[in-house]
A and B are shown apart, each in its own frame.
Chain A
């Protein structure tokens, strides 16, 4: 079953995120992907995450298809104008990539080539808009396509945001132009997530809550201080501090959170972001009470 079928039939979906390598060596990327084969519904490939030069998401997503995994190709507007975005989407479809997740993209100043010019001709809403236009058989200027792509479109949302209404209004705009599923920024506090779900009201979209397995109290403190939209509660940081094996404790905390959102039916799935520790994802999934994705 693919991601679309799983979500649209009311199933609980599991996706995990993987960054393409910085270089041409895809060995670890493939190993980590194959290790979750059958355990996840799709593998989400980041697009020059944090504005860092790497192999592209299109290339990495095509490699996943080759390996028999279903990718979600992330695409941002930071590095491409409308010509490149449309070309990338058409290529993705031709290479068998069905899921596309549109993002605005981190600012180049955060990356490892901070001298780069940010394009940002299209924001996340515009990328969804153009994907849907291509799905209608035309390019953005109204010219005919020979062969039409078909995508399952996703976007992102930040559950911890002030003012919340503004975040929800933008989410509605994304849905209006075709987003069917949302992966959220990582959530650690279940009560905050419930607040967000309540605030969503009758907004109709599939929600995959973001999960980051913490590796240390320092990592939690760093994210609290530096990453907008992330809030790790003190009691979780304390648990990590007191534990003997912090990585294992981090996985345990993540598994408890996943089981909790699943049991309480708070959302439609989870999206795991292991940020460089992708080899731990199979262990995390084994700790969770989930159906096999295969």
Chain B
């Protein structure tokens, strides 16, 4: 899931300076789970904008915001309202906001900061687990990603900064390499660790990336 966090309201107000009539879009998937762009959060945002003297012309929870065809169909039904709006405030991830921005002729402003691809540990608790590096390493690391979970994304084992199994960069985090070592040992696959890993092929992660599924 794409994890988002609300931007400070003051930053949003700066975007919306001089704009009176605001249309709000949300997203039915990730942003709803992150409580940053579901119907509940949209209504709360509407209230705050009204208190700032703005008009909210309408809102739509896109299903989801990153699906161009779905978003286009939903926004088409709101064409009249959108035409009378000065701005759209998009309560989705950075992808969702760009999808909306590509479909309308009014300025689109993000209400959220996009943080990472992560897992939902429990409601409201998210942790980063995948950096989308383009070449998955989990097959030899006992299912623990060193690219994401090691602060230095090291490929050949821990640095000297691990202490009591924790990372010195953030002692709240486990050292990914101590975790990988222990798990590989349990699985009797420690020989995987001994293979020299060459630096990753970053040509596979050259932005922007595109995937087309062939027939």
Contacts and interface: CB of A to CB of B under 8 A. Distances in A.
Nearest to A123: B154
B57 to A, nearest CB: 40
Given A169-B157, A170-B158, A163 B202 contact: no
Contacts of B177: 166
B178 A125 contact: no
Nearest to B154: A123
A126 B152 contact: no
Nearest to B156: A125
Contact of B196 (A156, A158, A165, A173): A173
Contacts of A162: 164-165
The interface size bin for chain B is 20 to 34
Contacts, number: 82
Interface in A119-178: 120-126, 129, 140, 156, 158, 161-163, 165-167, 169-170, 172-173, 176-177
Contact of B157 (A105, A122, A166, A177): A166
Contacts of B188: none
Given A125-B196, A228-B161, A163 B181 contact: yes
Contact of B178 (A82, A140, A163): A163
A120 B153 contact: yes
A107 B178 contact: no
Interface string A81-96: 0100000000000000
A172 B199 contact: no
Contacts of A129: 196, 198
Given A107-B151, A107-B169, A123-B152, A169 B193 contact: yes
A173 B158 CA distance: 12
A78 B155 CA distance: 14
A123 B156 contact: yes
A106 B161 contact: yes
Interface in B154-182: 154-165, 168-169, 177-178, 181-182
A118 interface: yes
B148 to A, nearest CB: 13
A162 B165 CA distance: 7
A126 B159 CA distance: 13
Contacts of B153: 120
A113 interface: no
Interface residues of A, number: 34
Contact of B156 (A126, A156, A228): A126
A166 B181 contact: yes
A123 B158 CA distance: 10
Nearest to B163: A228
A145 to B, nearest CB: 19
B152 A104 contact: yes
A284 B133 CA distance: 49
Nearest to B164: A162
A172 B190 CA distance: 13
B194 interface: yes
B199 A177 contact: no
Interface in A194-239: 228-229
Nearest to A228: B163
A121 B159 CA distance: 14
B178 A166 contact: yes
Given A109-B169, A126-B199, A172-B194, A156 B181 contact: no
23 contacts: A78-B152, A104-B159, A106-B161, A107-B151, A107-B168, A109-B169, A120-B152, A123-B157, A125-B155, A125-B197, A126-B198, A126-B199, A129-B196, A129-B198, A161-B160, A165-B181, A173-B156, A173-B194, A173-B196, A176-B196, A177-B196, A228-B161, A228-B163
Given A104-B160, A123-B157, A165-B181, 10 more contacts: A107-B161, A118-B152, A120-B152, A125-B155, A125-B157, A125-B197, A126-B199, A167-B158, A173-B157, A173-B194
